[in-house]
Structure 1
Amino acid sequence: MQRICVIGGSRYFGKLLVKRLQAAGHQVTVINRGSTPPPAGVEHLVVDRNDEAALTAALGSRTFDVVVDQVCYTPVQAAVAARAFAGRTRRYVMTSTIEVYDPATAAMAAVPPGTPVPEEIVDPATWLVAMDLPWHDEAYLEAHYAEGKRQAEAVFTRAGSFEFASVRCAHVLGGGAQEFTGRLAHYAGRIATGVEITVHAKALPTVFIHYEELADLLLWATTADFTGPVNACSDGPLDVHGLAAIIAAQTGREPVYRIVPAGEEASAFSFDRHYAMNNARAKELGYSFSRTTDWLPGAVAEALTIEPSPSA
């Protein structure tokens, strides 16, 4: 049994992670602002993680074997947590994102299309941190989501008071109504009703992961001994046409596409730039991934029960 603290953990794969940790026999503490209570038997600390004084006070004399941070989006949040948990934990795991590799959001080494992107393309040990940017502005943060995650990883990597690992997750699907982005339901609904999907002329593939598999990988990451970033994605990248074909097979309706001009934004999962991740490091460390095509039909079936979004 380990003492594990989860920051966030109130929805989707974070909520499932808490249940998996508890089922594995760990002593679990959840920190969030109190909107959703954790399962019975899980300690709940209601506090805003952005308020360093309040966070430190809420932690009291508690120590943990591992902290899993599900909701760190900026270097400012990372710095607060690094100070608050210094001397309180031996290991810190942060949920990061495939978006750190998006070449449209930062200058980084180019990876040829068709070559899965490895972790070293974005090295948090050398990434520039700018604490004075307007990270507290919600509009700024939304527009700079990828950079916020990159810089948060960089702050934790340099903290030095605990082992640090980041899990860079692919696009997360599954769970029906739990899937808060609604992107799979968007596609399923539009294809089922014959509404067009906007795509790029040369749409490039991306990678996905089922929310249950991501919860399992995060559970594994709490007890693993690796440090640094690890990519988390199911085997088998898909482009928007491959995704739509799987949906079409269940709906009996062929997708209707509209190609957007170069440089124009298209529907989610249609990409005109390459950053599909390589999951080889996680495999070398001992984690086995499913294939996207094994679980995606089930996720589509769930998505088809959801009211489609009117947006393009």
Structure 2
Amino acid sequence: MKLLILGGTEFVGRAVAEAGTARGWRVTVFHRGRHEPPAGVESLHGDRTAGGGPAALAEGDWDLVVDTWSGAPVAVRDAARLLAGRARHYTYVSSRSVYAWPAPAGLAEDGPLVDVADSAADSTGDGPYAEVKRGGELAAEREFGAERVLLARAGLILGPWENIGRLPWWLGRIARGGPVLAPGPRELPVQYIDVRDLAGWLLDAAAAGRTGPYNLVSPPGYATMGGLLEACVKATGSDAELRWTDPEAVLAAGIEPWSGLPVWLPPGELHDAMHRGDVSRALAAGLVCRPVEETVADTWAWLRELGGAAPQRPDRPEVGVSPEQEAAALGH
């Protein structure tokens, strides 16, 4: 199988590349050359934001294309247009953010989408994330034809190579030990997907010719905040003491959900949208999720290999609360 990854050196793209090479596939990654690609892949270089960016893709043919782009939809359009006659199937890694807000609990793939015009596929701007991702979906389907495009609407993604900083922040904080602000309730459900489970499912689904949208995240209630943070304590071997704190007290301390305390959202509309989505279609198509303890332990092992400093995407803000904010919330 000949696989082309548009990206392929960071987080999701890297996991897809490693999953492909592990299968013995011929893997090509198209990237800007800013990061070292995984071993065993062929590299093509280009900047999709520059004039003539995808020129390195002008020759060659592939069975499957996986596109992890999260910027202006025009880059998806241009790559898909260039490859449409030389590749069999196109997977665009989208997001559950494309659903119209507020997304109610249990929303499936047929839910209402963010309202954008068909011209969003030609957008050259990095606008609101939901609109950008929807524009990428439209671009991929227009250039390849919906009958050849898989739309992977991922939710929260965790695991090794994370360059957003969510799980790495929790692991780093808990590794330091002492009293840790643990946002409650402890049994609050958390819905996420390990990047390696996402990558494996994408390749299985693309090889099988699956098309259309799929919500890709673990089943609702698959994990909890308690299970996630306790797994962090166990993996790091820390003496951290998790101080479970009611959502009202966390919010009263001025701490932002999601960005201040990564992954966590208090019960209510935000939580329903992010952590209670319907994934029955992906499960029926073979999605299998590994235990939260494995995701956490492997992410910690990867961080230790790096010396504790996780990579950080320059286009995403750093997450986490300061020691002063945490102490204030704990009443110290």
TM-score range, shorter chain: 0.7 to 0.9
User: In structure 2, what residue type is equivalent to 1:174?
Assistant: G
Deviation at 1:8, TM superposition (A): 0.4
Q: TM-score, normalised by structure 2?
A: 0.73
In the alignment, which of 259, 271, 274 is matched to residue 250 of structure 2? 259
Residue 168 of structure 1 deviates from its aligned partner by 2.0
Q: Distance in 1 between matches of 2:18 and 2:302?
A: 23
Match of 1:90?
Answer: 88
User: How far 1:33 sits from its partner (Å)?
Assistant: 1.0
Change (3 A) 1:303 1:7: closer
2:197 aligns with 213
Question: In structure 1, which of residues 82, 107, 118 is the aligned counterpart of residue 108 of structure 2?
Answer: 118
Change (3 A) 1:99 1:198: farther
Aligned to 2:43: 44
Structure 2 residue aligned with 1:61: 59
State the match for 1:282 in structure 2.
Answer: 282
Q: Distance in 1 between matches of 2:134 and 2:202?
A: 19
Q: Distance in 1 between matches of 2:88 and 2:111?
A: 27
List aligned pairs for 1:1-312, cutoff 5 A.
Answer: 2-39=1-38, 42-51=41-50, 53-55=52-54, 57-101=55-99, 106-107=100-101, 110-112=103-105, 115=106, 117-122=107-112, 128-129=117-118, 131=120, 136=125, 141=127, 144-161=128-145, 163-175=148-160, 178-192=161-175, 193-194=177-178, 196-197=180-181, 199=183, 205-235=189-219, 236-248=221-233, 251-256=238-243, 257=245, 258-261=249-252, 265-266=256-257, 267-272=261-266, 273=270, 274-275=272-273, 276=275, 277-285=277-285, 287-299=286-298, 301-302=300-301, 305=304, 306=308, 311-312=320-321
For residues 168-208 of structure 1, what are the alpha-carbon distances to aligned partners after superposition, in whole Å with 9 as ceiling and x for unaligned?
22322222xx3222211222333443365484889963311
SS at match of 2:88: strand
CA distance in 1, matches of 2:254, 2:120: 31
Distance 2:226 2:10 in 1: 30
Please tell me the residue identity of whatever aligns with 2:262. Answer: A
Q: TM-score, normalised by structure 1?
A: 0.77
Tell me by how many angstroms 1:163 deviates: 0.6
Runs ≥4 residues deviating over 6 A: 200-203
Q: Is the 8 A contact 1:93 1:222 kept in 2?
A: yes
Tell me the residue number matched to 2:326: none
After superposition, the C-alpha distances for 1:83-107 in whole angstroms (9 at most, x for unaligned) are: 2222122210011224334xxxx43
* Paired residue total: 293
Q: Among all aligned residue pairs of Structure 1 and Structure 2, give the percentage whose two residues are the same amino acid.
A: 30
Q: Distance in 2 between matches of 1:40 and 1:196?
A: 38
Q: Secondary structure at the match of 2:110?
A: helix
Any conservation in 1 of the 2:178–2:239 contact (CA below 8 Å)? no
